[in-house]
Amino acid sequence: MSVFLSRERRRLAPYAPGEQPRGEKLIKLNTNEAPYSPPQSVLDAVSAAAGGLNLYPDPEGAELRAALAVYHGVSPRNISLGNGSDETLAFAFAAFGGAEAAFAFPDITYGFYPSPAALYGVPYTEIPVDASLKIRAEDYVGIGKNIVLANPNSPTGEVLPMADIERVAESNPGRAVIIDEAYADFWGSSAAPLTKRFENLLVVRTYSKSRFLAGARLGYAVGDEGLIGDIETVRYSFNPYNLNSMTLAAGIGALKEETYYKERWREIAETRDETQEALRELGFVTTRSMANFVFARHESVPGAELMACLRERGVLTRSLGRERARPWLRVTVGTPEQMKTFVGAAADAIKTYCS
Ligand SMILES: *Cc1c(COP(=O)(O)O)cnc(C)c1O
């Protein structure tokens, strides 16, 4: 029981991260990290940057923003950097949310969104996804709220076509429409180009999943200058040096390795589709994931139980607490070998131990 929290802070909803095992030998398929290391050139850039740790990093991150601007075909003034995209998302809730400026997001989506909403006192509505766990764009058309949609969505991996994003942005003028593209590289589509047409559209991206740099903490937003200016105002109010010099260097280095990454994304997508297929053969129902994870359920074992059974077999996965998601299990796509082990463990679990 907290004694010192102020009255305003008593309704926090802190996010519960997935397990990061210490020491134990487990196949880690629970937090959508990559099974691969970033390229050597990125590690070298980080080491080089460590030589300058006596100095503050560039608070503007000018070199990285310039490189990202080229990558997305925008201006550096259209980019804001975050210590992980969670930070950028939190800045967006702080900037655009308020007692009179509520947010809306799906009931089955990234579990972090309620946390900054509670921190900054922003009311929010959770809009149910449909029976097949897809987001229905109509539910967001003209609702006059700030909106955040993960695309591909987590934990389902289902995607919303760009035409739907246009409708949602166009019909909610004066409100921020935030597209969280944590997994977009695995799909190959991005709403970033649409930010030139819609001044209220903010695209948030991360290096954690598709750039294999979860430990570096690097995310960013792409949007109209006005929207980005507001995020920057919050950033300078919170932590002007939010990115350390090694992370900035990693971010620049990774953009020079597009060929390496594209090849890995292709492999991961292939392994994902094979895993989905193998699970269906075992009697699982899966969503149509376009991300680096699969989402599956089996009628004989609810998600949390299956997760526990798999952990005993050395495989970490993730089940999600909320009622509608309870039958389901989210499994990160690892190497083909790791996925073979997972599928074997899952087959065993549904046949013997768990039933
Ligand atoms: C992993 C994830 C993030 C957070 O990524 P960081 O950049 O590591 O903070 C944001 N959104 C979604 C949907 C995610 O799955």
Q: What is the largest CA-CA distance in the chain?
A: 58
Cβ contact 318:329 at 8 Å = yes
Q: Whose CA is nearest to atom 14 of ligand 1?
A: 182
pTM of the model: 0.97
Judge if the beta carbon of residue 200 lies within 6 A of ligand 1.
no
Structure tokens at 151: 């695309």
pLDDT (mean) for 349-355: 74
Domains of the chain: residue spans and CATH: 18-36+258-354 (3.90.1150.10), 40-255 (3.40.640.10)
pLDDT, position 22 = 86
| Ligand 1 nearest atom to the CA of residue 109, by list position | 13
pLDDT band, very low/low/confident/very high, at 96 (cuts 50, 70, 90): very high
pLDDT grade, residue 353 (50/70/90)?
low
Alpha-carbon distances of 354 from 49, 119, 170, 318, 342, rounded to whole Å: 50, 39, 49, 16, 15
- Is 221 near ligand 1, meaning CB less than 6 Å away? no
Residue that is written with structure tokens 């060929």 in the block: 259
291 lines ligand 1 (CB under 6 A): no
Whether the CB of 219 sits within 6 Å of ligand 1: yes
110 lines ligand 1 (CB under 6 A): yes
Take atom 11 of ligand 1 and give the residue whose Cα is closest.
Answer: 182
Q: Taking the CB of residue 301, how many other CB atoms lie within 10 A of it?
A: 22
Cβ–ligand 1 distance for 116 under 6 Å, the answer no
**CB proximity list for 51: less than 8 A, separation 6 or greater:** none
Residue 345 has pLDDT above 80, yes or no: yes
CA–CA separation, 150 vs 307, rounded Å?
A: 24
| 61, 240 Cβ separation under 8 angstroms | no
Q: Is the CB–ligand 1 distance for residue 187 below 6 Å?
A: no
Distance 281 CA to ligand 1 centre (A): 31
Give pLDDT tens digits for 168-225. Answer: 999 999 999 999 999 999 999 999 999 999 999 999 999 999 999 999 999 999 999 9
